[in-house]
Structure 1
Amino acid sequence: MKRSKIYIIGSLLTMLLFSACQKELLEPNPESLLNTENFYQVSKDIDKAVLGIYSRLQSRKPTDYLLLEIPTDNLYASTNTSVSGANALDVLAVTPDNDLIADFWVANYSIIFRTNAVLNNIDKPTDYKGIEKNQYTGEAKFMRALTYFELVRLFGGVPNVTTLLSAEDAKRVPRASEADIYKLIIDDLKDAIQKLPVTMAAGRASKGAAIALLGKVYVYQKKWIEAEEQLSQLFKAPFSYILVNNFADFWKMTNENSKESVFAITYLAGSNAHNLSTAFIPNGGVAGVVSRGAEVALPSWSINKLYISGDTRKASTITDMLISKIGDTPLWYPYVSKYAVVHDYGSSGLDLPVIRFADVVLLYAETLYGLNRPGDALIELNKVRERAFAGTSKNYILSDIASPADFSDKLFLERRLEFAYESERWYDLVRSGKYLNFTSEERAYNPNTGTALIVPVATRAALKYLPIPQKEIDKARDVLDQNDGYN
């Protein structure tokens, strides 16, 4: 249901938070200090500022696939893709001047600026009621941690900014170490866990979301004991997260705010919508969904062929036969249908998940295996498998995960099929080391010939990190050093 969601009107927040004379300060690296002398006076101002943090993530999230799925073996840019930088990323021709990489950097530091503005002004109001001050602090720290987690996974060490800076001071902030960024993330999340309530309105971070994210951070660091301590909490009271019975149900607007949603970004068709539901639709549209599509990217045969018979995730992720208009003869034209809800062109109200309980389950499986508990890991891995196949017929057995390599293959296969097009694939390719094996991609498949177009991609060790955007290096007057392999 939509009634408890956050609906953020961007223009209003912009008017409240920023003045026209400060336009040049909106996109420095990191985002700079804005004049807020007349803001943050009462608790309502802080609440609006927190909503402004979510608003910036709302605008970024629908385009994450351009950076986190198109460069992978899940998706490829269509012939009519006009997004600057997408075609280069499509074949891993990654350079420091790629516009998508630069835009992602700026968007994230914009979120960080807004979190810092809240945290640096949190003590000003004197009219907080109940837990409001703790809640707003926890939300801001969760969002700052989430944003730095995005950055550190992609770039390694990045500028560590926790205060409000002038434009000139921002240009003199060097990259912190990766370890320092992870410390900031963990410290923020530990504090957020203490301050956030268990129950929050849809679209706002809760205690469970902060615990889940901290567990995920520990998994990425292979700190299995710490990860188990966090993730295990989410399987018991006071939390009530579950996997919804049918995978397809999670992607229905009538089932938003389900118990599988740990943290999601909320949207409302028309006034606060996104275009992701349109982005994957073929140009001619899909009958009963939308009259035309943007067809920015199409699903690769590399992933399509991995969905075996009986896997219910397939029908809710990729549709092979296209019917553009009612009465048309079905045409073989695979497209991503995970977000294909009924909507007007470019105006979808479908919520976009950031953390699903399915992610918690698979992260917990990974953690238990890391703790040398393969039997327990298998139970968690099979929870997702059983949901996918509506029963135990395709469950893995211990002999399937007899070695660490076996387990890794099965785990990342399930993650790939479960989270396809949810902007997890690039992170999983890199952290598993499997990006080094990604040398070619099967794209368009011809069912008449039984062959697919195979396209080579330029994988290399340097892609463990993306390049620091060149425009940020130039702006920072050589304070920022470039990642190896991009000079």
Structure 2
Amino acid sequence: MKRNKIYIIGSLMTILSFSACQKELLEPNPESILTTKNFYQVSKDMDKAVLGVYNGLQSRKPTDYLLFEIPTDNLYASTNTSVSGANALDVLAITPDNELIADFWAANYSIIFRANAVLNNIDKPSDYKAGEKDQYIGEAKFMRALSYFEMVRLFAGVPNVTTLLSAEEARTVPRASETDIYNLVIDDLKDAVKKLPVTMVAGRASKGAAIALLGKVYVYQKKWVEAEEQLSQLFKAPFSYALVNSFADFWKLTNENSKESVFAMPYVAGSNGQNLSTAFIPNGGVEGIVSRGAEVALPSWSLNKLYIAGDTRKASTITDMLISKIGDAPLWYPYVSKYAVKHDYGTSGLDLPVIRFADVILLYAETLYGLNRPSDALLELNKVRERAFAGPSKNYILSDIVSPADFSDKLFLERRLEFAYESERWYDLVRSGKYLNFTSEERAYNPNTGTALTVPVATKAALKYLPIPQKEIDKAPDVLGQNDGYN
């Protein structure tokens, strides 16, 4: 497996010379347009171009926590944070000028541009092996759908671009409706499901990944019948997904590409590592992990206190360090340890999950409850709960979920504890409506006084969607428009 992962990443690093990442919204670098005249001529070129699409996500993924965890009740920016825009997100002081929001917009349209380049040139090579052309179409459509799914959840309607546009043409493209973007995502994923093989090398989308993502899209739309049709497939042949035996096992370097990994971004320490493993480590480092850390953000007490005794997820998510000196009161110092594997500063080889089977299970539980099948929903919910507590001692029972509100509370609690720092929390806060109740965050906890530092945050209804980046609006005045509440 490791050999395949290295091969993919090596290709990802070279592809950039063939399919350059445009920095501006929907504006391909002129050199990229010129290279299409002598590139995409043979199947090997197309394979490199597809790997270039993945590279966009591989580059973006390690920083997603800045947008999806720091603004939530899971994480807060440390005094060490120098990332522009992070401190504003930390207290939900979100404006159209936030650089992290603009960077995320640009990164996703870069992925979309690369996917479009593949799809618009797919007929050029004539030397495809059997099934190869369909695979590349499926991969490009999966990645385009994933990017648009990110965008529509964050911004509502966005420009719908499926062709290669000049800079002038791009400036005339208005925002499509939210419905139109969801329809594009669903159409792309349906075609990806048809074309992708069941088995793919690590780091590339498979049929199972496309089915899982399509099911997730339907869950977000509360289309329970369609979601059940998709997600139920992943529990039977030809698929063999399952939870690994213990939560801690999933986060080990030796257990990458496990049966729980539906789709993940691969990294190789040194040659093409990710910096997420370093981002949460204290400045002074952690013995046996890394000699120093970046300490960008710290875990909130709001989350920390929710892990009850016996929940094995706690030890693999947050490490509580007690630092004390002779004669001094003890100092409690927690840090996020979910990605804390042995590595050199800024270059970890731990793969980052995009879709875990645990997510499929909890999405399926949500779907079954939406179909008025609470007993079946509880069975799925308890699969994740039972793994967390190494047995059924803390399983939920039907009397725990006598109302939809009860089930929602239990479901989103499990999602929060299971997927902490995996960039799911902001989406879950918004789609559950619980972001409106997020008015303060307990941050640092003092074990001597038994109290936590409580910080107010500026939640508001408009945060259901983030603002369209002002720099994008400025490129095309009166074309994009702004979301409500940010004018």
TM over 0.5: yes
CA distance in 1, matches of 2:323, 2:184: 49
CA distance in 2, matches of 1:330, 1:207: 52
1:29 counterpart = 2:31: no
CA distance in 1, matches of 2:417, 2:12: 34
User: Following superposition of structure 1 onto structure 2, how do residues 267-346 of structure 1 map, counting pairs within 5 Å?
Assistant: 267-321=267-321, 332-346=332-346
User: Following superposition of structure 1 onto structure 2, how do residues 437-448 of structure 1 map, counting pairs within 5 Å?
Assistant: 437-448=437-448
CA distance in 1, matches of 2:474, 2:62: 28
CA distance in 1, matches of 2:132, 2:420: 37
Q: Name the residue aligned to 2:478.
A: 478
CA distance in 2, matches of 1:123, 1:76: 48
* CA displacement 1:15-58 (0-9 Å, x = unmatched): 2234xxxxxx8222224372211100000000000000111110
Q: Name the residue aligned to 1:55.
A: 55
Retained in 1: the 8 A contact 2:11–2:51? no
Q: Name the residue aligned to 1:22.
A: none
Distance 1:373 1:338, change over 3 A: same
* CA displacement 1:374-427 (0-9 Å, x = unmatched): 000000000000000000000000011110000000000000000000000000
Partner of 2:244: helix, strand, or coil? coil
Q: Name the residue aligned to 2:415.
A: 415
TM-score (ref. length: structure 2) = 0.96
Provide structure 2 residue ranges, at least 5 long, that are not aligned to the other structure. Answer: none
Retained in 2: the 8 A contact 1:281–1:337? yes
Letter of the 1:426 counterpart: W
Partner of 1:169: helix, strand, or coil? helix
* CA displacement 1:286-343 (0-9 Å, x = unmatched): 010000000000000000000000000000000001689xxxx996210000000000
Q: 4+ residue runs of structure 1 moved beyond 3 angstroms?
A: 8-11
Retained in 1: the 8 A contact 2:53–2:111? yes
Distance 1:108 1:322, change over 3 A: farther
User: Following superposition of structure 1 onto structure 2, how do residues 373-384 of structure 1 map, counting pairs within 5 Å?
Assistant: 373-384=373-384
CA distance in 2, matches of 1:296, 1:449: 26
Q: Name the residue aligned to 2:14.
A: 12
Distance 1:44 1:441, change over 3 A: same
* CA displacement 1:77-104 (0-9 Å, x = unmatched): 0001000000000000000000000000
Q: Name the residue aligned to 2:450.
A: 450
Partner of 1:393: helix, strand, or coil? helix
CA distance in 1, matches of 2:323, 2:305: 21
Partner of 2:392: helix, strand, or coil? coil
* CA displacement 1:164-223 (0-9 Å, x = unmatched): 000110111100000000000000000000000000000000000000000000000000
Q: Name the residue aligned to 2:404.
A: 404
Q: Name the residue aligned to 1:190.
A: 190
C-alpha deviation, 1:8, in angstroms = 3.6
Deviates more, 1:173-182 or 1:30-39: 30-39
CA distance in 1, matches of 2:413, 2:63: 24
Identity level (%)? 84
Partner of 1:264: helix, strand, or coil? strand
CA distance in 1, matches of 2:11, 2:264: 18
Q: Name the residue aligned to 1:356.
A: 356
1:132 counterpart = 2:128: no
CA distance in 2, matches of 1:320, 1:9: 40
Provide structure 1 residue ranges, at least 5 long, that are not aligned to the other structure. Answer: 19-24
User: Following superposition of structure 1 onto structure 2, how do residues 124-203 of structure 1 map, counting pairs within 5 Å?
Assistant: 124-203=124-203
Q: Name the residue aligned to 1:103.
A: 103
Letter of the 2:181 counterpart: I
1:206 counterpart = 2:206: yes
Retained in 2: the 8 A contact 1:142–1:192? yes
Q: Name the residue aligned to 1:21.
A: none
CA distance in 2, matches of 1:39, 1:452: 58
Retained in 2: the 8 A contact 1:277–1:339? yes
* CA displacement 1:209-248 (0-9 Å, x = unmatched): 0000000000000000000000000000000000001000
Letter of the 1:15 counterpart: S
Letter of the 1:32 counterpart: P
Retained in 2: the 8 A contact 1:440–1:456? yes
Deviates more, 1:361-370 or 1:29-38: 29-38
CA distance in 2, matches of 1:274, 1:322: 28
CA distance in 1, matches of 2:246, 2:226: 31
Retained in 1: the 8 A contact 2:11–2:48? no
Q: Name the residue aligned to 2:425.
A: 425
Letter of the 2:111 counterpart: I
CA distance in 1, matches of 2:430, 2:423: 13
RMSD: 1.4
**Equivalences, count:** 477
Distance 1:243 1:330, change over 3 A: farther
Letter of the 1:214 counterpart: L
Q: Name the residue aligned to 1:119.
A: 119
C-alpha deviation, 1:2, in angstroms = 1.4
